[in-house]
Amino acid sequence: MDKDKILVISLDNKSGKSEDFQIAESYDEATVIGVFDGLGGRILGTAEETGGRIASRKAAEITQDILAESQGNLDKEQALKIKDKSCKKLKEFAENNLPVSRIKGKLASKRLCSTIAIASLFKELTDNQKYLVKIAWMGDSRIYYLHPHQGLQQLTKDDLKESKDALEVIYQDPPMSQFLTADPEADWKINYEKFEFSEEGFVLACTDGCFQYLPAPWEFEKLLLKTLIESNSNEEWQSSLTNFYQDNKHDDITLLVCSLGKNELDFQNFHSAYQSRLEHLDKNYNIQSESSRDELKQMWEQYRKGYENQPEKIKVKDSVDDEEVKNNDLSGAKKKTESKQTIDEKSSNVSMKDEGENQENSQKKGLPRIMEVIDQNEDSKKLTNNN
């Protein structure tokens, strides 16, 4: 797919002060999409930019340069290089340009922080006739796969200090356990996975502003499908999504969508492919004012079976580990086969959103706060029964 066929939505929550950045590039063999969300806007920056904006901008630039060298091939070696070089450059910038912070406490320990979520989509089928996608991430920005029959699947796992599912994250907004920063912990690693898909679909990269303020995980999928089916071109789809987020944004919005296996975008085919999935969602996943907490949980338990049912991951055959990179200087590191590893969630002493920020964000969420509605409804039922 050509670069101009990638759907890109980028909206500032406050004009000219966005802390989100994105990359979208098409090479001969692969297409790359990626998002970066600067963290801790009040943490020390310069007179021109907040620390979060500096971090996400520089991380995006470094990532774009590294992947240009590999023509879009995001292997484990490139992922490690992106993480190490980004943190190194952020540290150099902090040391040379930032005054000593007077902020005390947990927000002072990390400078220039950003999430990262990138995906490399290969244009040619593999030997076993499947579509290859490689992804890397740190933080809570996400990569999704939108399947016409199985629906939306979250390919990344949020780096959080406490394990939370996608519904819990919406209402609890937990702190992250790792991200790109000038001051990373020694055990922080960039997550990396490879997937093979047997069917065509869409791959999405997005920052948390796209999904964090919707009342349930399936509402994000319904938004994508409704606007897709109402559109007859990539431009119309982009316009519909942009209009929705323009009216409902409470954070910076960055969303990139790239079709998998489609050289030409035929929206009539999309309509027929995704129509039954949307009808299924509309029939089975509707939150009403009279819905109870148990009913919401039941819907989530059913929906998450597909949402968390990731396609089979393939063994990483083109990777090197952190120590090998450090000892052999990435360019000379020997490639070796590595079994799939799961990165344990690490606790750190930093939360990029303090309690005051969490309360402020909660008040800003203009979309329905379903749990609050349900609680009020259940309280009303109890009063009625008591009377």
pLDDT digits (tens, 9 = 90+) for 19-63: 999 999 999 999 999 999 999 754 566 667 899 999 999 999 999
User: Which position has the higher pLDDT, 39 or 341?
Assistant: 39
Query: Sorting pLDDT into bands at 50, 70 and 90, what band is 108?
Result: low
pLDDT digits (tens, 9 = 90+) for 289-339: 777 888 889 999 999 999 998 777 765 444 445 554 444 443 443 333 333
The per-residue pLDDT for 267 is 93
| pTM (2 d.p.) | 0.83
Specify if 65 maps to a domain: yes
Q: What is the mean pLDDT of the chain?
A: 82
The two beta strands, 336-338 and 316-319, are antiparallel
Helix 76-97 × helix 51-69 angle, to 10°: 140
Q: Do 181 and 90 meet the contact criterion of CB atoms below 8 Å apart? A: yes
Once rounded to an integer, what is the mean pLDDT over residues 350-368? 38
Report the Cα–Cα distance between both ends of the chain, in Å, rounded: 64
Q: Do 221 and 152 meet the contact criterion of CB atoms below 8 Å apart? A: yes
Once rounded to an integer, what is the mean pLDDT over residues 81-95? 97
Q: In Å, how far are 71, 123, 197, 277 from 259, measured between CA atoms?
A: 19, 10, 12, 17
Q: How does 8-30 read in b/e, with b if 16+ C-beta sit within 10 Å?
A: bbbbebeeeebbbbbbbbbbeeb
Q: Is the pLDDT of residue 255 over 70?
A: yes
Q: Quick one: 152 exposed, middle or buried, by C-beta within 10 A (0-12, 13-18, 19+)?
A: buried
What is the distance between the alpha carbons of residues 63 and 82, in angstroms, rounded to a whole number? 6
What is the distance between the alpha carbons of residues 73 and 76, in angstroms, rounded to a whole number? 10
Lowest mean pLDDT among 84-88, 98-102, 264-268: 98-102
Once rounded to an integer, what is the mean pLDDT over residues 249-269? 91
Geometric angle at alpha carbon 12, from 105 and 100, rounded to 5°: 30
Specify if 333 maps to a domain: yes
What is the distance between the alpha carbons of residues 170 and 89, in angstroms, rounded to a whole number? 32
Query: Sorting pLDDT into bands at 50, 70 and 90, what band is 264?
Result: confident
Geometric angle at alpha carbon 172, from 167 and 173, rounded to 5°: 95
The per-residue pLDDT for 289 is 73
Once rounded to an integer, what is the mean pLDDT over residues 80-95? 97
Specify if 83 maps to a domain: yes
* Residue bearing tokens 């450059």: 89
Specify if 41 maps to a domain: yes
Q: Quick one: 354 exposed, middle or buried, by C-beta within 10 A (0-12, 13-18, 19+)?
A: middle
Specify if 387 maps to a domain: no
Specify if 125 maps to a domain: yes
What is the distance between the alpha carbons of residues 358 and 291, in angstroms, rounded to a whole number? 26
Query: Sorting pLDDT into bands at 50, 70 and 90, what band is 170?
Result: very high
What is the distance between the alpha carbons of residues 70 and 86, in angstroms, rounded to a whole number? 17
Q: Do 311 and 197 meet the contact criterion of CB atoms below 8 Å apart? A: yes
The per-residue pLDDT for 102 is 57
The percent of residues above 70 in pLDDT, for the chain, comes to 76
Sign of CA dihedral 350, 352, 356, 361: negative
The beta strands (E) that lie in the chain are given as 7-11, 20-26, 30-39, 113-114, 116-122, 131-138, 142-147, 151-154, 191-197, 201-206, 253-260, 316-319, 336-338
Specify if 345 maps to a domain: yes
CA dihedral of residues 287, 288, 291, 293 (deg, nearest 10): 40
- CA 137 to chain CA centroid, Å, is 8
Q: Domain containing 31: what range?
A: 3-382
| Number of folded domains that form the chain | 1
The per-residue pLDDT for 351 is 38
Q: Is the pLDDT of residue 371 over 70?
A: no
CATH number of the domain within which 196 lies:
3.60.40.10
pLDDT digits (tens, 9 = 90+) for 122-160: 999 999 999 999 999 999 999 999 999 999 999 999 999
Q: Is the pLDDT of residue 188 over 60?
A: yes
